[in-house]
Structures are given as structure tokens and as C-alpha cells.
Amino acid sequence: MKKIRLYLPNVLLTFLLVFALLGTECVLFAKYVVLNADTFRTVAEEQDLKTKAYATLEKEFTSNANTTGIPAEVFLDPVDTDALHQGILDSVSQAFDYLNGKSSDYAFTMDFTELENAVNTFFSDYAEENGYEKDEAYDEKVTSAISSAESRILFVADTFKLSTIYRNGWLEKAKKYIGYLNPAAMGMIAVTAALLVLLIVCNRKQMAHLAYWLGLASAIAGLLLLLPCIYLTATDYFTAFVMSDPQIFAAVVGFLQLLTGRAMLMAGITAGIGILLLVLFGILRHKAASDSQQSSPDDGN
Amino acid sequence: MAKTKQKGNALIYVMTGIFMAILCVAVSIALLTVPYEKAQTYLNIIFMNQERFTADQGLVITENENISTDLPSGDMEETGEIIRPSFGEQYAVLRCEAAQIEVPVYWGSSAELLDRGACQSSASTVLGETGNAVIDAHVNTFFANLTQIEPGDEIVLFTEYGVFTYTAREQVTFQNTDKKYILPTENDQLTLYTCEAQVLGTSTTRVGVVCDLKSKLFYPGEGAAE
């Protein structure tokens, strides 16, 4: 009777602990992995986004040269892969400055001084060589060429499409939710800790059983998160992403795959700890049974 | 007796574990069903590319070495089988001796194809069918001399399945937003256009020439030029 009285609270506490552990993991994952500028920077490095972005620009400016008559090198020489890499990192830093309240709005920009000088020089040289009058139309052409090139470079360097996310108001929404993350994390940790304490109190006279219930909660919480991650990885789900621009595809798919990998690691560790605790429980129970048999040899007859 | 009791306890532990796992999975599914249903449409759109893009894939450009650019001899037919090209395939050669133009024509239009030759809009009529065949190319490359085509000049298009001769009717100028000259027509015509030449930069004005069909001749048999 006493055992049943303990069994039911243990089942209930373990059930609640599974979801408390899941909630804690999810909140901490969102705070330290998803909404972390370093995750984006890692993706930029791992996926070699600068090279993909540069190749896209090279293709566009080379193709445009056929219609504009402006050689691609005029735009490409001042913008090398390092400048693009810095641009990609800046797009992330500026977005996180906005998210963390360090700036009031998000307006991704890069330093285009060299590009502007190169275009001005090209137009000026061209005008002098061909006797082209530097009138209002000339100025308009220079301004249009610079502005068009800058907007293309910014579009390509914004590999995570943070400007689009900002324009659609999603960055503003994320900013609001970031404010709730710390209290949510504290709340989830407090709930988890409270459930742990209650489980310890329930099993204070049989600590081996504590290992069982904790192990069970941890193993189930881990597996609940691990199985969807395994499915996403095994089916290569994210590679069906509809955007085929190489730098955007690599950034988005790389980011989602990195998140899945990290979630899998976290879930694997949780499940692993749970399984270890269950094994420990088995060992302790086996040892207790052996001790009990040794102390009362008649039981075996 | 003690062993039986131990086995019974072990079974309870195992069954409890299975029960808890099933319960948690069921609760999770119940909790996630509504959000998943709401997100499903968006997920299906965002991850709809079942072709699974890789960086090595992309536009497949096909050159065609079977197109003969010899003028038709006597053994041609007035009707024949049209070989419909696939996107990115070179399916014709355009020649206009008056403007010194000879350029490969690709089916479909993209930056890569425009770098290689002229492009025929895949929304226009395949050569040999009735309607408007619309072909464009860059002004600084393949259609640099397009404005030199005068009314009455002859334009010949060679394909794998036949030779189509057009006569220039009129030179046209239109804005890039004006679809008048690229829309389907009931008569057999060819529309060639390019950007208006600018000293530097791009123009929103398009210049071109509209041509009427003079003759269409198909190779006998399966339409092979060889």
C-alpha cells in the first residue's frame, strides 16, 4: 500500500519532469544557440559564404557588363571575398545590436568608399577618353551605377536575409521575445529544480529508485527531442529548401542543419545521462538483491 | 519466492518506463498537432524543392552541333515535324547577312544563355508553328548590329528540323514595360529586339525589328538536318 502511495506521485513527478526538462532545454537552446550571433558566424565560416557570395556577384556583374558596358572589374576589384566576409559578419552583428537594444533600427550597410572611387574613376576616364560631356546626365549615370551596384552587393552579402526579416517586422517580434527568454529560462530551471527536490523527497529512503525515476525522465526527454532530429537529418529535410541562390541556400540550410546538429547533441547527452542513471539503478538493485540473498541464505532453498 | 518478487518488480519497472514513454509521446503529439497544422502549409512551400538542389546543379545548357547552316536545297518539304527544344538548349542559328549577324539561338532566357548567344522566349512560338517567335540578345554583343536591319532585309533561322526565312517589315522602339511586340500573334512573325545602346549604363528602351515569314522549309523524314 505504501509502495503504491509512493509509486503514483513518482509517476506524476517524472511525467512533469520530462516536460520541464524539455522546456528548459528548448529555452536555453533558443537563448544560447538560435539567438546567438556566434551561431551565424560559425555558419558563415563552415559554409564558406563569402566565396559563394563573391561568385554570385562575379556572375551578375559579368553578365550586366554586356548591357551596361561597364566592365565587371570596376565593381569586383574593390569588393574582394574578405570585404564580403566582413559584410556578412556585419549584417549579423548589426541585426543582433538591434535585437539586444544597442541600436534603435536595423539598416545593414557596408563601407563602399573604394567602390565609389572606382566607379567615379572609371566614368571620369571614360568621359575623358571619349570626349563625353560631364553634364547632368553623366552625374545621373554615375549615381545610378553606384547605387545599383551597392544595392546588389548588400543584397548578396545579406546571406541570412536579415534585412528582409527586419522589413517584415519579424526582427521586431524576435526582439520582444528575447526579453522574455531570461525570465523563461529562470522559470523553467526553477520548475525543474522544484520537481527534482520533490522526487528526492519522495525517494529519500530509497536513493536507488531516485536514479530510476530521474533516469526515466531524462531518457524520455532526450529521446523526444532526439528522434525528430534524427528524422530531419536522415531525410535531409532542409535540402529541399526552395531558394537556389547558392549563398542564401548555403546560409539558410547550413544554419538549420547546424541547429539540428546542436539539438541532437544536447538531446543525445540528456538521453545518455538518463540511460546511465537507469543502468546505475539496475546495478544498485542487483547489488541490493545479492546483499539481501547473502544475509538470508535460507531464502535460496 | 524472493526471486519471483524481484522478477515481478523488474517487470513493473520496465512496464512503467514503456507506459511513461508512450504517455509522453502521446502528450507531445497532442500538443504539437495544432501548431504543426498551422505551419504545414508554410513548411511545404519553403521546403518544396524535391529535386534537392546542390551547388553543382543548375541550368543545363546544351549546344547543338546538328544544325546545318547551309541554305536549303531542293529536297525540302513545306510541312514537317517540329522538334520542341528544352530550356537551355541551342535549337537554332540566326543569320542576317545585311547586318552581319550570325548567332546561336537558345530556348529560354537567362543571364548564362544571354552570354552565349540570342535567347528565344519560351513563352513565344517555336519556329515552324504559327505565331510570334520572340528573340533577344545583348546590345553590346550579339545584337550590336540589330538596328542596321532595314525593312526588306532577309533573316534566316536554321534549326535541326527546318529552315525558316523572314523578311524585315518594320523597325520598332518600345519601353521594357510595353509587351505589345512580344505578345502572341495570329500571323507568322519573328520579333528581334535588344536594349537601346547607351554610352554607359542600362536603358529601359528596347529597339527591334518585326519580320514576316517568307518561307518555312522542313527537312524530309524525322526532321534531322544531317
Where does a domain end: A127, A146, A170?
Answer: A170
Residues A55, A154, single domain; the answer is: yes
Where does a domain end: A106, A135, A170?
Answer: A170
A23 part of a folded domain: yes
Count structural domains, chain A.
Answer: 2
- Grid cell listed for A278: 537507469
A279 part of a folded domain: yes
Say yes or no to pLDDT of A275 above 60: yes
Q: Using one digit for the tens of pLDDT, what is the confidence trace for A54-96?
A: 999 998 888 888 778 788 999 999 988 999 999 999 999 999 9
A119 part of a folded domain: yes
Residues A198, A136, single domain; the answer is: no
Both ends of chain A: CA-CA distance in Å?
A: 28
Q: How many CA atoms lie within 13 A of B175 on its CB side?
A: 2
Contact residues, chain B to chain A, C-beta under 8 Å: 1-2, 6, 13, 16-17, 20-21, 23-25, 27-28, 45-50, 52-55, 58, 111-112, 114-115, 138-141, 195, 198-202
A217 part of a folded domain: yes
Interface test with B, best of A7, A130, A220 (most B CBs within 10 A): A220
Q: State the residue range of the domain holding A87.
A: 46-170
Residues A54, A147, single domain; the answer is: yes
| Facing residue for B49 by CB, picked from A59, A224, A240 | A240
Nearest alpha carbon to residue B101 among B34, B194, B178: B194
Residues A225, A205, single domain; the answer is: yes
Beta bridge partners of B136: B119, B193
Minimal CA separation from A62 to chain B, in Å:
9
Contact residues, chain A to chain B, C-beta under 8 Å: 11, 14-15, 18-19, 52, 59-60, 62-70, 123, 126, 130, 132, 141, 144-145, 212, 216, 220, 223-224, 236-242, 244, 246, 249-250, 278, 289, 292-293, 299
Say yes or no to pLDDT of B175 above 50: yes
Contact A18 B20 (CB under 8 A): yes
Neighbours of A274 (CB within 10 A): 22
| Facing residue for A63 by CB, picked from B16, B115, B199 | B115
CA nearest to A138 within chain B:
B200
Minimal CA separation from A262 to chain B, in Å:
21
Residue B203 host element (H or E) = none
Residues A215, A258, single domain; the answer is: yes
pTM: 0.73
Minimal CA separation from A12 to chain B, in Å:
10
ipTM over 0.85? The verdict is no
Residues A142, A229, single domain; the answer is: no
A26 part of a folded domain: yes
Residues A164, A196, single domain; the answer is: no
Residues A116, A14, single domain; the answer is: no
Q: Quickly state the pLDDT bin for B225 (edges 50, 70, 90).
A: very low
Contact B140 A67 (CB under 8 A): yes
* CA distance linking residue A141 with residue A135, whole number of Å: 10
Establish, for the pair of chains A and B, how many residue pairs have beta carbons separated by less than 8 Å: 98
A290 part of a folded domain: no
A62 part of a folded domain: yes
Residues A112, A166, single domain; the answer is: yes
Residues A158, A185, single domain; the answer is: no
Residues A250, A273, single domain; the answer is: yes
Say yes or no to pLDDT of B4 above 80: no
Give φ, ψ of A103 to 5 degrees: -135, 150
| Facing residue for A220 by CB, picked from B20, B53, B141 | B20
Say yes or no to pLDDT of B150 above 50: yes
Residues A141, A54, single domain; the answer is: yes
Contacts of A203 (CB under 8 A, 6+ apart): A6, A10, A209, A210, A213
User: 3-class SS at B186?
Assistant: coil
A300 part of a folded domain: no
User: 3-class SS at B77?
Assistant: strand
* CA distance linking residue A121 with residue A115, whole number of Å: 10
* CA distance linking residue A145 with residue A121, whole number of Å: 12
Contact B52 A63 (CB under 8 A): no
Burial (CB count within 10 angstroms: exposed 0-12, middle 13-18, buried 19+), residue A277: buried
DSSP label at A30? I
Residue B8 host element (H or E) = helix B2-46
What average pLDDT does this structure show over A21-36?
A: 94
Say yes or no to pLDDT of A299 above 80: no
